[in-house]
């Protein structure tokens, strides 16, 4: 037995939302290395194309025979009409999804309750919660009918512990946690697996989005300690997906070593 057996990924088809950057992009490339086929979703078509090319390179470099097909779908998961049409955008040979990674999500601002704009509030809920639920609804019945599949939802430490200035984001990730838990229970009689990955701070475009393009403010979030990298989280996702069919990794709570809670971070020393 090898230490980290990924042979079960060969020819599996993995759909990843939010695959154009950060955790989603790193996860796509790692799955490609393992011989999976990929369906990559996001709003930015140019960024998706770059990740798709990197997946093809990663697969070619792996020496693995089989798998390695990659398709991209430009979609806004916060738009329920677009999500209802998602299957028609996927090439026929990749329509049967084995692993659904619901990763698309974001936080905007650090506004306190009373100051939060309804646009920000609705955007976060429509993407992080309704986008994730609508995507799951689009694929779960087929997984149940085949009695095989895996839904991997990206939650957050923010779904476990709320913090000041993060009320809406924390509420969305708490909703992801509740939804994922209910889905796990609903599928107990099936071979469909359900996993939630809950990262702490990961250095991605996440903070640039939070601070509305202010790169200096985003960089400060990660100063003085070693945050997680997108690859760190991708490894956990791919590891969970490649366990034997009778093993379900229910939750992975992964933090940087110097982070203990959403905002308790030790900076500037060992
Ligand atoms: N970074 C962290 O510290 C951290 C910690 C815990 C959890 N998370 C979670 O991890 C997930 C990935 O975040 P990340 O850190 O990798 O951030 P990121 O680099 O900003 O990636 C977010 C991804 O989501 C996509 N996305 C956002 N809104 C979308 C929409 N409406 N429709 C389709 N795609 C959409 C973005 O692509 P487009 O802009 O091209 O659409 C992008 O690919 C999120 O759910 C986030 O909440 C992150």
Compare 27 and 7 and report the one with higher pLDDT: 27
What is the average pLDDT across 187-200? Answer: 98
Give the separation between CA 230 and CA 253, rounded to whole angstroms: 14
- Residue 238 is predicted with a pLDDT of 97
Q: In what order do the strands lie in the sheet with 149-154?
A: 70-74, 37-42, 13-17, 99-102, 149-154, 192-199, 251-254
In three-state secondary structure terms, 61 is: helix
Catalytic residue among 169, 215, 220, 270: 169
What is the average pLDDT across 54-80? Answer: 96
Q: Is any ligand 1 atom within 6 A of the Cβ of residue 156?
A: yes
- Residue 1 is predicted with a pLDDT of 53
The full set of domain ranges for the chain reads 7-254
- Residue 270 is predicted with a pLDDT of 58
The region, left, alpha or beta by phi > 0 then psi within -120 to 50, assigned to residue 215 is alpha
Q: Is any ligand 1 atom within 6 A of the Cβ of residue 79?
A: no
Let me know if 173 is a catalytic residue: yes
**CB-CB contact of 224 with 268 (8 Å):** yes
Q: For residue range 215-249, what is the model confidence (pLDDT) as tens digits?
A: 999 999 999 999 999 999 999 999 999 999 999 99
- Residue 170 is predicted with a pLDDT of 98
Q: Burial of 254 by CB count in 10 Å (0-12 exposed, 13-18 middle, 19+ buried)?
A: middle
φ, ψ for residue 151, nearest 5 deg? -105, 120
- The DSSP H or E segment spanning 135 is helix 132-146
Per the structure block, which two tokens stand in for 23? 């955790």
Atom of ligand 1 nearest to the CA of 76: 32
Q: Which CATH superfamily is domain 7-254 in?
A: NAD(P)-binding Rossmann-like Domain (3.40.50.720)
Give the separation between CA 66 and CA 30, rounded to whole angstroms: 15
- Residue 5 is predicted with a pLDDT of 78
- Within 10 angstroms of residue 15's Cβ, the number of other Cβ atoms is 25
- Residue 6 is predicted with a pLDDT of 80
Residue nearest to atom 32 of ligand 1 (CA): 76
Give the separation between CA 170 and CA 231, rounded to whole angstroms: 23
Q: For residue range 86-124, what is the model confidence (pLDDT) as tens digits?
A: 999 999 999 999 999 999 999 999 999 999 999 999 999
């Amino acid at each position: 037995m090898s230490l980290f057996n990924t042979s079960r990924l060969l020819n599996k088809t993995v759909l990843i939302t939010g695959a154009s950057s950060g955790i989603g992009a790193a996860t796509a490339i790692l799955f490609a290395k393992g011989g999976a086929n990929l369906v990559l979703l996001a709003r930015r078509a140019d960024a998706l194309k770059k990740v798709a090319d990197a997946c093809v390179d990663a697969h070619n470099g792996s020496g693995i025979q089989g798998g390695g097909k990659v398709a991209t779908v430009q979609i806004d998961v916060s738009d329920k009409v677009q999500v209802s049409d998602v299957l028609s955008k996927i090439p026929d040979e990749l329509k049967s999804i084995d692993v659904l990674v619901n990763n698309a999500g974001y936080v905007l601002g650090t506004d306190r309750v009373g100051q939060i704009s309804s646009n920000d509030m609705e955007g976060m809920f429509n993407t992080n919660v309704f986008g994730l639920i609508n995507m799951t609804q689009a694929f779960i019945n087929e997984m149940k009918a085949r009695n095989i599949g895996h839904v991997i939802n990206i939650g957050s430490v923010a779904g476990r512990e709320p913090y000041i200035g993060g009320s809406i984001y924390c509420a969305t990730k708490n909703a992801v946690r509740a939804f994922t838990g209910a889905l796990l229970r609903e599928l107990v009689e099936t071979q469909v697996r359900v996993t939630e990955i809950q990262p702490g701070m990961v250095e991605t475009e996440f903070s640039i989005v939070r601070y509305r393009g202010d790169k200096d403010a985003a960089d400060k979030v990660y100063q003085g300690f070693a945050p997680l990298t997108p690859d760190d989280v991708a490894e956990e996702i791919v590891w969970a997906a490649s366990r034997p069919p009778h093993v379900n990794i229910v939750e992975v709570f992964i933090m940087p070593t110097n982070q203990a809670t959403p905002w308790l971070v030790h900076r500037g020393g060992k």
